Structure 1
Amino acid sequence: MHKNPIGVFDSGVGGLSVLREIRKLLPEEDLLYVADSAHAPYGDKSKEFILERSATIVDFFVSQNVKAIVVACNTATGAAVKELRPKYELPMIAMEPAVKPASERSQTGIIGVLATSRTIDSNNFQILFARFADKVKILPQACPGLVEQVERGNLNGDKIRTLIAQYIQPLLAQNVDVIVLGCTHYPFLAPIIQELAGSSVTVIDSGSAIARELKSRLEKTTLLANRPYPGAVQFWSSDETGTAKRVISQLWDAEIDVSNLPERISA
């Protein structure tokens, strides 16, 4: 199975921020990426809907003979991973906001977490926050609209800057010195977030940590690819309008061929 691909999925294009870290750390691996853009964002969907979509995509990956799955979506992690893991024997790596490194870096003892409302309300997040409650004060900030902007490829301009300022100003007013990007879409907005937050604030995300965890899990199960050449990357999307193809190519910084998911999976 070490020659089999790794499946990575997100509600849309945000998981590309994780995929690029995996590609950087494990360039020899074959990667399959699914952007469920027709149903993005997951952040305003019910837990039941997210679980159903996640299970459908995982089943698709199983049909493609993947050796591991990365749930590159904080919202899907919170809503679905606990239910999905017992049903599959494959390694399943899920997102966790970088609260631990943030708590270690903070000098003020106050950190902000930008995420979707669904992610913030999830049991996973509540447990994570409670785990570090005695070390730092954590200020979760829901960010409606940011995912939609990234899904359209709007990474700059007055509208996105106004939205970001609206979300980070309350955090800065409470003396945060570390901001955690708790949604995989947000790293594509990191330059603006950093600019508006100022040089005294550290902005961090979980992408590189997830890539390292994936490598560790593959090593432990002797599933690392050992080929002496780069692996392939294949992209699928549930969006049939062409927007996902354009935005994936934009974010991946290359003209990408994006296949439509089979209708039974896209619906």
Structure 2
Amino acid sequence: MTTAPIGIFDSGVGGLTVARAVSQLLPRESVLYIGDTARSPYGPKPIADVRRYGLEILDTLVEQGVKMLVIACNTASAALLRDARERYDVPVVEVIGPAVRTAVATTRNGRIGVIGTAGTIGSGVYQDMFGVDPRLEVFAQACPRFVDFVEAGITDTPDVLRVAEEYLAPLRHAGVDTVVLGCTHYPFLEGAISYVMGQGVSLVSSDTETAKDVYRQLVSRDLLAGPDAEPTHVYEATGASADDFLRLADRLMGRGVSAVRLVQTGAIDLPKGIS
């Protein structure tokens, strides 16, 4: 057992869905979250840049003594997961595998849709993971404006619904019965996505599935915090305006800052390069 925090990393605020799910499932665990708001969004950026940015953040988390790393960003997971698992001694959990396993178990007709950033969809990582099962047909759709909406705190306007209808039309036409929300920002738009896809389509969200994987990893490695642990939740941003990050995080998480026991935040200095 150890009281060291779980380190969670995302390109911005989207990974807060994972942090929220982890805290709900593991209320005694401390969390150290870093959102790379200075360089968000990752989706349109070259994979090499995403890899470099992500490893810088993960290095920072490891230096601060986390007991586990959670890459709460689909684009970063696709770009650097193998590097991270070779680079660090602590366990590394990502958001793609857990969602894929749940989608396979959920689908009834074998037709699965995946939505994500341009970087995630372009990497083909979901298509490759689903492709090992010949019974499945996978339909992938990039939804780049979804991240812009979430980062701006816009989740329930007519514009969101209109864009969702445009992006999701190919998946509806394909007759998918399961859709993977392949970006941790997207659960904040689950209302619009569910409305457009219809009640007969199951949505698989990477936040809750990743939290379950975190639980399994902590138990199997005897890393759970003890019953007397007093958890702290620390949220940091790389951007200059931590206040903007906090206001948006508070709004998107749907509860007061005090409810997530915020103890510290602020812009952090990142290394100029990686070793």
Tell me the TM-score normalized by structure 1.
0.93
Q: Distance in 1 between matches of 2:272 and 2:177?
A: 41
2:256 to 254, 257, 267: 254
SS of 1:8's equivalent in the other structure is: strand
Letter in 1 for 2:182: G
Q: CA RMSD in A?
A: 1.9
Q: Distance in 1 between matches of 2:64 and 2:128?
A: 34
Q: Does 1:107 align with 2:113?
A: no
Q: Distance in 2 between matches of 1:231 and 1:248?
A: 19
1:164-243 pair list within 5 angstroms: 164-228=164-228, 231-241=231-241, 242-243=243-244
**Are 2:183 and 2:206, in contact at CA under 8 Å, matched by a contact in 1?**
no
Q: Does 1:7 align with 2:13?
A: no
Once the 2 structures are TM-superposed, how far is the Cα of residue 149 of structure 1 from its aligned partner? Answer: 0.9
Measured at CA, do residues 34 and 106 of structure 1 come closer, stay the same or move farther in structure 2, by a change above 3 Å?
same
Letter in 2 for 1:264: L
Q: Report Cα offsets for 1:112-164 as digits up to 9, x if no partner.
A: 111111112225334213223x1221100000111111011111112211111
- Counterpart in the other structure of 1:159: 159
Measured at CA, do residues 5 and 257 of structure 1 come closer, stay the same or move farther in structure 2, by a change above 3 Å?
closer
SS of 2:270's equivalent in the other structure is: helix
Measured at CA, do residues 261 and 60 of structure 1 come closer, stay the same or move farther in structure 2, by a change above 3 Å?
farther
Once the 2 structures are TM-superposed, how far is the Cα of residue 214 of structure 1 from its aligned partner? Answer: 1.2
Percent of aligned positions that are identical: 33
**Are 2:232 and 2:263, in contact at CA under 8 Å, matched by a contact in 1?**
no
Letter in 2 for 1:84: A
**Count of aligned pairs:** 266
- Counterpart in the other structure of 2:88: 88
SS of 1:260's equivalent in the other structure is: coil
Letter in 1 for 2:2: H
Once the 2 structures are TM-superposed, how far is the Cα of residue 52 of structure 1 from its aligned partner? Answer: 1.1
Q: Distance in 2 between matches of 1:82 and 1:135?
A: 27
Q: Does 1:116 align with 2:111?
A: no
Letter in 2 for 1:145: R
Q: Report Cα offsets for 1:40-77 as digits up to 9, x if no partner.
A: 11101111111111111111111211111100111000
Where does structure 2 lack aligned partners over 5 or more consecutive residues? none
**Are 2:37 and 2:239, in contact at CA under 8 Å, matched by a contact in 1?**
yes
**Are 1:152 and 1:243, in contact at CA under 8 Å, matched by a contact in 2?**
no
Once the 2 structures are TM-superposed, how far is the Cα of residue 246 of structure 1 from its aligned partner? Answer: 1.3
Q: Distance in 2 between matches of 1:266 and 1:192?
A: 40
- Counterpart in the other structure of 2:52: 52
Tell me the TM-score normalized by structure 2.
0.90
Once the 2 structures are TM-superposed, how far is the Cα of residue 220 of structure 1 from its aligned partner? Answer: 2.0
SS of 1:21's equivalent in the other structure is: helix
- Counterpart in the other structure of 2:27: 27
Once the 2 structures are TM-superposed, how far is the Cα of residue 84 of structure 1 from its aligned partner? Answer: 1.8
Once the 2 structures are TM-superposed, how far is the Cα of residue 99 of structure 1 from its aligned partner? Answer: 3.0
Where does structure 1 lack aligned partners over 5 or more consecutive residues? none
Measured at CA, do residues 248 and 100 of structure 1 come closer, stay the same or move farther in structure 2, by a change above 3 Å?
same
Q: Distance in 1 between matches of 2:172 and 2:230?
A: 43
Q: Distance in 2 between matches of 1:171 and 1:266?
A: 42
**Are 2:127 and 2:140, in contact at CA under 8 Å, matched by a contact in 1?**
no
Q: Report Cα offsets for 1:55-111 as digits up to 9, x if no partner.
A: 111111112111111001110000011112111101110111623332333233211
**Are 2:4 and 2:66, in contact at CA under 8 Å, matched by a contact in 1?**
yes
- Counterpart in the other structure of 1:66: 66
